[in-house]
Amino acid sequence: MNVHFTYKLDKSPTAEQYLQSQIDKLGPRLHVFNPDMISLRGSIEVAPKSGFVVAVNLRLPSGQMAARASEETLHGAIRIAFDDLSAQLNKHKQHLRSHYRFPGVRGEERPPIAPQARFEDTIAAVKPDKVSSVDVAGFVNANLDRLRRYVERELASRLDNGQRRLQEVSAEEVINEAIANALDEHCPRPEKVALEPWLYRLSRSAMDRLGNQLDSGAGSQRDHEEIHPSLDAADEQMLQFYQPDESTPSESLIADQYSGTPEDEASREELMEMVERALRGAAPQQREAFLLFTMEGFRPSEIAVITQRTAEQVQADIKIAREHLRRSLVAAGGRRQKLVADRTPTHSRSA
């Protein structure tokens, strides 16, 4: 947004700070417009009788509006002018989003106005950036281990629920399928803010598709070319350091200083196993929503994108799963105390 104000009086740091605060309040209302096509002009001067006069003019790609105010104090004049300008801006945005119809005349309804292009589709609107292949690659490089743990946990849970066909599906196959769909140019892509839940959703879809393939018998065949792709002369330089039949030794790996210690990983795995056992009696959608909320850190709106459900249903599932977990842990604690009491010798009890 291009901002320019003309002062016809001595500048005051306090007045400039207050003026900037009013401009900052106006900024969020202009996010739907292209910032390069917004211009805010104004003037501040002293009036001989009314005190101070502030005039502002806002030019947008879809129109122009102006406000003028006079007040005894400079702060009061600035506030009144920007309040008037904000009210005009709200009406203007409401007019852009509304679709009007002519009222009936003499009992006959006039034909509706022909639909025009939405404001969000014009060049004046700011279009959010879509997910690109670089974004997908960056996320996978930084969060591959986390995504793999999620896929492994979901595969194990589905096996416990009776989906035995997934025994032949590995976590690597699911991740490869999800990443391939994410990198496909023909696949619709969301905004960058929804990149992580989108990849988790693709992983769930990949598990469903691979399981259905195994049911139909199409996934039982493993082609040799798929496992060991043919290599040409362009891969000669790579083959100097790597052979397909060789395994990567542990000495070739670089330690990650940001990863947790083995004790932390073991504690996390133990906690996950305890929660998994406690949630076995809950419904699959309740268990999944609760784990995505607590373990993966997703918000209910993001979980709704992953599971293709509404945010209200996700919140209800989380609440039910939390109550189920609480009851399971209380019951497990009572059984443990009873077991310890039964194993205590009789003489120690009498003592």
E strand residue ranges, the chain: 2-8, 39-47, 51-60, 63-71
The sign one gets for the Cα dihedral 150, 156, 159, 160 is: negative
Q: Would you state the pLDDT for residue 256?
A: 60
Q: Would you state the pLDDT for residue 173?
A: 87
Beta strands across the sheet bearing 51-60: 2-8, 39-47, 51-60, 63-71
Q: Would you state the pLDDT for residue 242?
A: 52
Q: 240 to each of 2, 237, 243, 305, how far by Cα in Å?
A: 57, 5, 8, 45
Separation between Cα atoms, residue 192 and residue 129, nearest integer Å: 6
Taking each helix axis from N to C terminus, what angle separates 133-160 and 195-216, rounded to the nearest 10 degrees?
A: 50
Q: pLDDT tens per residue, the chain (351 residues)? A: 788 888 888 878 888 888 888 888 888 888 878 888 888 899 888 887 778 889 999 888 888 889 898 888 888 888 898 999 888 888 888 887 764 444 444 555 555 656 667 766 776 666 667 777 888 888 888 888 888 888 888 888 888 777 777 778 888 888 888 888 888 877 777 776 678 888 888 888 888 888 777 666 544 444 444 444 455 555 555 555 555 555 666 656 666 665 667 777 777 777 777 777 777 778 888 888 888 888 788 888 888 888 888 889 999 998 998 888 888 877 766 666 665 566 655 544 444
Find tokens 């490869």 and name the residue: 176
- Other C-beta atoms lying within 10 Å of the C-beta of residue 136: 18
Separation between Cα atoms, residue 16 and residue 220, nearest integer Å: 72
Q: Would you state the pLDDT for residue 76?
A: 87
Contact at 8 Å (CB) between 50 and 29?
Answer: no
Nearest CA among 118, 116, 124 for reference residue 30: 124
The helix (H) or strand (E) run that includes residue 130 is none
Separation between Cα atoms, residue 272 and residue 265, nearest integer Å: 10
Q: Would you state the pLDDT for residue 316?
A: 92
DSSP letter for each residue of 289-320 = HHHHHHTS---HHHHHHHHTS-HHHHHHHHHH
In the structure encoding, which two tokens stand for residue 84, read together?
Answer: 């008037």
Query: pTM for this structure?
Result: 0.48
Q: Would you state the pLDDT for residue 216?
A: 61
With left for phi above 0 and alpha for psi between -120 and 50, is residue 187 left, alpha or beta? beta
User: Which value, to the nearest 10 degrees, does the dihedral of the CA atoms of residues 8, 90, 80, 39 take?
Assistant: -10
Q: Would you state the pLDDT for residue 334?
A: 65
Residues 6+ apart with CB under 8 A from 58: 38, 39, 40, 64, 65, 66, 85, 89
Q: Would you state the pLDDT for residue 105?
A: 47
Return the SS3 of 148: helix
Burial of residue 175 (number of CB atoms within 10 Å: 0-12, 13-18, 19+): buried
